[in-house]
Structure 1
Amino acid sequence: MKILLLNAGSSSLKATLVDQHAGIVLAQAKADWAGEATRYEFIAQDGVARTEVVAEMRYCETVRRFLSDLRQGQSPGLSDLSELAAVGHRFVHGGEYQTSIQITPEVRSHIEQLRELAPLHNPSSLETLAAAEAELPDVPHIAVFDTAFHSTMPPEAYTYAIPTNWTRDWGIRRFGFHGLSHAYCSRQAAKMLDRPSDNLRLVICHLGHGCSASAVHGGQCVDTTMGFTPLEGLMMATRSGSIDPGVLFHLQHHQGLTAEEIEQSLNHDSGLLGVSGISADMRQVSAAASDGDKQARLAIAIYVHRVRQAIGALTVTMGGIDALVFTAGVGENDAEIREMICSGLECLGLELDSKTNAACRPDVDIASESSRARILVIDTREDETMLREVQAVMGLPAGGSGKTKVEP
């Protein structure tokens, strides 16, 4: 009994094959075409990473290539496609769905209608689904939603101050995203602190290409920075984050921009890229800032300012904080950004240990010994949350160690 997990991003696809009984990973692959060349990496159970630059490869080609690689070699991860119990698919926006669900034509139709609310991700997930269903037509396909973890928010957190009929008739509300990551980090933080989750107050900062922060109290999300779409909230790589709606009206009335042009700019041309004029990659922006580029420095200052604001607001929402969590690409790997964010948070009881922070590799506590609250850096594992959700939908017992990462 094996489970295939497919996690489609805006310019990448991660695939993971898990042994259901043992609860371990048999193989992983990732295709990434964000740069000038497409890179494909395959890691078999031996932990050896095989990376190559390949020709045109997108979602369909990656699914086929991974399934082919799984059946190669002396000890194939998948001897026959009949060994698959299910395929799990990550969808950023689930709309009205608050739990994972087996995909039917009706479910697919509902997700299709949400394309424009998550334009960087839902279309790629649908393309991946179509490719997987073509290759594996007899295997159950399960949709796992990033929005589901945030469905525990109270009405005062998810309701916008807009006419009631907009909310009631048109479903306009805050949903929240990156839920697979926030859910995993919530569980992992409780383990690291050796405390039950039901009395923990966590602020989780998922800082990657997309960025969001959440307040998790007692293992449940009570608030988050993203809203009706993933565009709201923190400054991101190419997304603006929250902006005064009046700016949009001004651009339409006085600059002649169309709704489509504004949407394109706010999703693809803003954030780190828009302010710095250099890159959407924090590493390149930081390098330029170190060389004295004023716009790069401003981009980082705005980024840090927005995250610090969110941490303060979410902490007050819970009446305090027991641990601050950093995760995702920037959160896990950029010690300088973490230190800038934590500077001044002593008022919340958060004191960083600079030496531990500079040398850390997840999963680790980087708070000083005297800090009243802890500061954790956690290697997020969305695939582990996906596995749990697929097992629940299929009625399968959680197996083995639950390790869902092949270590090279």
Structure 2
Amino acid sequence: MTNRLVLVINGGSSSIKLALRRENTSGALFDAIAERLNTSQACYSTSDGQCGELPNATHLDALNALLPMLERHLDHPLSAIGHRVVHGGERFTSAQLLNDEIIAGIEANAPLAPLHNPANLTGIRAAMQLRPQTPQVAVFDTAFHQSMPPHAFRYALPDELYAVHGVRRYGFHGTSHKYVSDQAGLLTGLGKGNGAWLTAHLGNGCSSCAVLDGRSMDTSMGLTPLEGLVMGTRSGDVDPNLHAHLARTLGWDLSRIERLLNRESGLLGLSGLSNDMRELEQARADGHSGAQLAIEVFCYRLARSLAGLSVALPRIDGLIFTGGIGENSALTRALTLKHLAVLGLQIDPDRNSSLPRGEAGRIEAAGSAAVMVIPTDEERQIADESLALLETQPRSQTA
């Protein structure tokens, strides 16, 4: 069958998102979200215009309410349910068919992603309870980056912290970096899974990556999603001794410092205005100095990261922008490329500014290596990886 259907589920701490995908097609046939779960304000909305309240609903209650709505869009049974799981640690280097052992492994990695893995597990357990006969697959954000060599993923810390406690660089946004680098190979004629790419996933969370022939060689995020680029509310890289400095000089405890770095910094902290790039671009045009500074720092730090990641590649076939900012902000792309001429990357201003929102395209100047905008589709990547895994499993395990 080449028309298989996959339900993609992303379970958050207080929400659950569903997307029904058909094999090898773009766009969801149906999607839905339930939010504010476990509160009296819990509610849902769907892509076909349905919405309603679900007071005090759990993840299981939400799925119970949403699955009948989804089933009206099925023309044949689901082949799989694919779950996004943020952290797979070193154990999970690819998608996994869910069973008690794999669930225990996801739980064991919870200390590495305490806000994410437990939330992902709530969606997994709810779906497995409601659809026990449907094969269910975990697709890990970190798995793509497990191809990084030790010189890229190790911190310069005592070995025991790595060997016993797993302190190393893991990277995130792996499904996005994988998807857009594969698409770049197709767009340039090199072929899917081929080429040496710098990728920039830019949204409220941001990361960059060096991809060689379908393998992550290095990436900007590390042990947690805080490392690396300037983001919407996250600081990205800061002096590692900042924690001690703030504790000594301001008397801040660890939770206050973590809130600063994760919730109050980035574009929001720099601008004093917003974490939304659209608002900042408008404010910049109106002369807001904080917005201008935030955008300039964001783009410079991105360019510096991309230039640094270039050492992980034998050559550069191109640069890819993706994510909400990468796909839609011509200004961000232009300002970033101003710093990257040293890598032979130059932008065509007209092609950059005229590229329709949400469309893939090439925006490099003549003589430059490829510069591309490729809308990411993490749900399709999860669906594709789920189906590919099923093809490798004995029928008894997926029946």
Class of the TM-score when normalised by the shorter of the 2 chains: 0.7 to 0.9
Secondary structure class of the residue paired with 2:21: strand
1:102 aligns with 2:97: yes
Secondary structure class of the residue paired with 2:207: strand
Residue 79 to residue 219, structure 1, CA distance change in 2 (3 Å): closer
Residue 309 of structure 1 corresponds to: 304
Is contact 1:210–1:237 with CA below 8 Å preserved after alignment?
A: yes
Residue 125 of structure 1 corresponds to: 120
Residue 29 of structure 2 corresponds to: 27
- Counterpart residue type for residue 86 of structure 2: V
Secondary structure class of the residue paired with 2:164: helix
Aligned counterpart in structure 1 of residue 388 of structure 2, from 377, 388, 392 = 392
- Counterpart residue type for residue 162 of structure 1: L
- In structure 1, C-alpha distance between the alignment counterparts of 2:255 and 2:176, rounded to whole Å: 30
Alignment of 1:174-323 (within 5 A): 174-196=169-191, 200-323=195-318
Residue 391 to residue 364, structure 1, CA distance change in 2 (3 Å): same
Residue identity over aligned pairs, in percent, reads: 38
- Alpha-carbon deviations, 1:34-63, whole Å to 9, x = none? 9xx9996534xxxxx537586778855653
- Counterpart residue type for residue 346 of structure 1: A
- Counterpart residue type for residue 367 of structure 1: E
Secondary structure class of the residue paired with 1:165: helix
Is contact 1:349–1:372 with CA below 8 Å preserved after alignment?
A: yes
Residue 397 of structure 2 corresponds to: none
Is contact 1:88–1:390 with CA below 8 Å preserved after alignment?
A: yes
Is contact 1:187–1:219 with CA below 8 Å preserved after alignment?
A: yes
Residue 42 of structure 1 corresponds to: 46
Alignment of 1:122-161 (within 5 A): 122-161=117-156
Residue 396 of structure 2 corresponds to: none
Residue 198 to residue 288, structure 1, CA distance change in 2 (3 Å): closer
- In structure 2, C-alpha distance between the alignment counterparts of 1:349 and 1:24, rounded to whole Å: 32
Residue 373 to residue 290, structure 1, CA distance change in 2 (3 Å): same
1:4 aligns with 2:3: no
Tell me the CA shift for residue 77 of structure 1. 1.9
- Counterpart residue type for residue 70 of structure 2: L
Is contact 1:212–1:226 with CA below 8 Å preserved after alignment?
A: yes
Tell me the CA shift for residue 17 of structure 1. 1.9
Secondary structure class of the residue paired with 1:181: helix
- In structure 1, C-alpha distance between the alignment counterparts of 2:58 and 2:199, rounded to whole Å: 31
Residue 260 to residue 345, structure 1, CA distance change in 2 (3 Å): same
Q: TM-score, normalised by structure 2?
A: 0.86
- Alpha-carbon deviations, 1:167-211, whole Å to 9, x = none? 112111111110000111111000000113566210000001110
Unmatched 5+ stretches in structure 1: 44-48, 398-408
Residue 364 to residue 23, structure 1, CA distance change in 2 (3 Å): closer
- In structure 2, C-alpha distance between the alignment counterparts of 1:346 and 1:159, rounded to whole Å: 30
- Counterpart residue type for residue 384 of structure 1: R
Is contact 1:27–1:42 with CA below 8 Å preserved after alignment?
A: no
Alignment of 1:55-74 (within 5 A): 60=60, 62-71=62-71
Residue 372 of structure 1 corresponds to: 368
1:15 aligns with 2:18: yes
- Higher relative contact order structure (alpha carbons within 8 Å, sequence separation ≥ 6): 1
Is contact 1:12–1:30 with CA below 8 Å preserved after alignment?
A: no
Secondary structure class of the residue paired with 1:50: coil
Residue 162 of structure 1 corresponds to: 157
- In structure 1, C-alpha distance between the alignment counterparts of 2:298 and 2:260, rounded to whole Å: 18
Is contact 1:29–1:66 with CA below 8 Å preserved after alignment?
A: no
Residue 174 to residue 258, structure 1, CA distance change in 2 (3 Å): same
Is contact 1:86–1:142 with CA below 8 Å preserved after alignment?
A: yes
Tell me the CA shift for residue 23 of structure 1. 6.0
- Counterpart residue type for residue 326 of structure 1: F
Q: TM-score, normalised by structure 1?
A: 0.85
- Counterpart residue type for residue 70 of structure 1: L
Residue 378 of structure 2 corresponds to: 382
- In structure 2, C-alpha distance between the alignment counterparts of 1:198 and 1:386, rounded to whole Å: 16
- In structure 2, C-alpha distance between the alignment counterparts of 1:133 and 1:231, rounded to whole Å: 31
Is contact 1:238–1:274 with CA below 8 Å preserved after alignment?
A: yes
Deviates more, 1:111-120 or 1:264-273: 111-120
- Counterpart residue type for residue 33 of structure 2: A
- In structure 2, C-alpha distance between the alignment counterparts of 1:333 and 1:109, rounded to whole Å: 40
- Counterpart residue type for residue 88 of structure 2: G
The count of corresponding residues between Structure 1 and Structure 2 is 382
Residue 129 to residue 94, structure 1, CA distance change in 2 (3 Å): same
Residue 326 of structure 1 corresponds to: 321
Aligned counterpart in structure 2 of residue 351 of structure 1, from 327, 346, 350 = 346
Aligned counterpart in structure 1 of residue 85 of structure 2, from 81, 91, 94 = 91
- In structure 2, C-alpha distance between the alignment counterparts of 1:191 and 1:19, rounded to whole Å: 20
Is contact 1:92–1:121 with CA below 8 Å preserved after alignment?
A: yes
